[in-house]
Amino acid sequence: MNIRVRLLSITLIAVSLVLSNCSPPQTEASQEHFLEDKDKQHNGDYFATYPLHSPDSCIIRLKAEVPPRHQPWGCMAIWYRMPRSNRDSSFRMLELYERHYPHDTVHTFSQIKRAEFYVDAAQFHEADSCLQDVEQAALRLQRILDLSDVYFLRGRMEVYRNNFSEARQVLFKYLELLDSRDTSFSQEHALGYMSIAASYERSQQFEKSREWFDKVLNAPGDNISEDWLDKLKAQAAINVGIGYLGTNPDSGLIWAQIAEKRVKEVLKLPSPHRLSYLFGRAHVELAHCDVALPYLLDAYHRRPGSHEVFGYYQYPLALGHLYLCTGRLDSAEILLRESLPSPDTGNLSATYRMLGEVAARRGDYQSAWEHQKTSTHLLRAKFTADRIMAAAETDARYDALEQSKRVAVLEKEHQLNRQKIWLLLALLTLLISVAVALHHRERRRQKMLHQQKQLIEQEKLLAELRAQLKEQELEQSQVELQQTKDELDEAAALLELKNQLIETLELRWQKHLTSEDTDIDADKISEGTFSEMRILTKEDWSLFLEKFSEQFPHFLQRIQHLHPDLTAAETRLLLLLKIGFDTRQMAGMLGIADNSIWRSRHRLVKKLGLDSAKELGGYISSL
């Protein structure tokens, strides 16, 4: 599943950036093509130089040589290069992978790979535990790819359990998930088609099986590697040929030749052991035992490892069958007993049947009867379940058909009743429409009379409102005139107070000049000397408050009531602002710099709770 691997690789590269320590920019740039450079130095495959038989040694070397950001990807690449025949070694690598690079993606990947081993080894309980773990994580994280892997492995598992109907249901869900992501044909679709075809083939539904194999054989190669698709089509041709062995061995032989041609001429690869098995089985079924022997011997010696339980035991069974046909009973018995650990019920039934034939030829009819009895029992157990499922499916289809017929009859009756009801409704609607029209006509007449009466009353009310409005406008004009008069009086009071203060300061200035030495040079009298005349002495401040209170008798008390936390300096500034002094005049009177007045004003704005100094004048006027 190359697309799956590529997507997972991209995810793991992103995870590695989070797991690894941050490096300086120049270090990251130098490590960007680290793996590519290493591959060039080691004949295109740097990780193939690792001690793949020892996962611990691989991790030690990986951490010592590879930058942290590339280590998660490197760990996965090492796992893919390890031989699948050693499950303990593979599991140890997955354990180290999770320990050193903990992440949800790493955990789900490891659990899926463990489940693949368990399914091939027929350890279905352990496989189901791993798949449940992945399914929960996939649903929680909303990862469709991981969930589709779960359904695919469950489908394979149900095929191995001979639960073909359940297997197809799960595999159809798998295809639905794939189509929800992308409807175009992909490697995942091809694997799903192959598994569904295998479920039909093992349940003896060869026509259905051929239909799904044809989906693979006629599949377009737009989104798939051409080399990978050719391999898959060759495998599909082999599976089609194996499906014909029990019913039409000649067709099985033809499909074997088609697969051989594709393997040798298109792929340019040696014949796989599965193809040799197909040739041998086809020739055995055609009674060409001498021709079949070299094929089956080749397939037997090149068979998959014992970790692939369901493929491992087919080859000694086929070779034992051949030896039985040729009369080599000892060799046949040895090979047949070698295939007894097979978990496949159909293969076990055939094995015991042939062991019974071996015993019968030797004259041991008691053993032959026991073997035949065991074979019959296994065969009955297998096909009874198949017949039950087939009968259930037939009953379900029959019930659905009967229900559809009943629904059709009821639909006709309902349609006739609906027509009668529609006719009655039409008549009733017509009568109601006439009655409603007459009612609306009478209501419109009454409404017009009521509107005329209301119009007369509204005209009277309008006249009254106009009179009230004139009175209100007159009152409002008088109020506005009084407000304008009050504002003018306040402005006149401010101007008078300001003039009095200026006159007082000028008198004090004249008095100050006459008290000094008459010989003082006029040039020495400067603006700075005048600025020293302040109102901050008790005498000056008392005089200022006396004159201010004469003009604004309640202003100071209101300020002190609303803002009791104002300082004396802030109160002086507020009173000068009320009079209307500008910044320079206030600085001269208070004996401070202009910037100090500006800062004091901004502090005053914050203490009064205003947003800006522009609002200060309006606030003082409102007081």
Query: What amino acid is encoded at 203 in this protein?
Result: S
pLDDT at 155: 92
**Tokens describing residue 307:** 């970790």
327 — alpha (psi -120 to 50), left (phi > 0) or beta?
left
Examine residue 608 and state whether it is found in any structural domain, yes or no.
yes
Residue-number span of the structural domain to which 611 is assigned: 528-622
| Euclidean distance between CA atoms 307 and 324, whole angstroms | 27
Residue 339: inside a domain, yes or no?
no
| Count of other CB atoms within 10 angstroms of residue 8 | 20
Q: Domain for residue 595, yes or no? A: yes
Q: What secondary structure does DSSP assign to 271-329, as a single string?
A: PPHHHHHHHHHHHHHTT-HHHHHHHHHHHHHTPPPTTSHHHHTHHHHHHHHHHHHHT-H
pTM of the model: 0.55
> What distance in Å separates the CA atoms of residue 553 and residue 312, rounded to the nearest whole number?
113
Query: How many domains in the chain?
Result: 1
- Asked if residue 343 is part of any domain, the answer here is no
**In-domain check, residue 38:** no
Cβ pair 433, 426 in contact under 8 A: no
Task: Report which of 351, 333, 332 is spatially closest to residue 343, judged by C-alpha positions.
Answer: 351
Work out the burial of residue 519: count CB atoms within 10 Å of its CB; fewer than 13 is exposed, 13-18 middle, 19 or more buried: exposed
Residue 380 lies in a domain: no
Which pLDDT belongs to residue 307? Answer: 64
Rounded to an integer, what distance in angstroms lies between the CA atom of residue 394 and that of residue 371? Answer: 34
Is 495 part of a structural domain of the chain?
Answer: no
Q: Confirm if 275 and 259 have CB atoms less than 8 A apart.
A: yes
- In the chain, which residues have pLDDT < 70? 1-32, 306-307, 382-404, 407, 481, 484-537
Amino acid at 104: D
| Beta strand extents in 481-524 (DSSP E only) | none
* CATH number of the domain within which 585 lies: 1.10.10.10
Give me 162's structure tokens: 């001979």
Instruction: Output the pLDDT for position 131.
Output: 93
Q: Which two tokens stand for residue 470?
A: 């004139």
Task: Answer yes or no: is 572 within a domain.
Answer: yes
Collapsed DSSP state (helix, strand, coil) of residue 84: coil
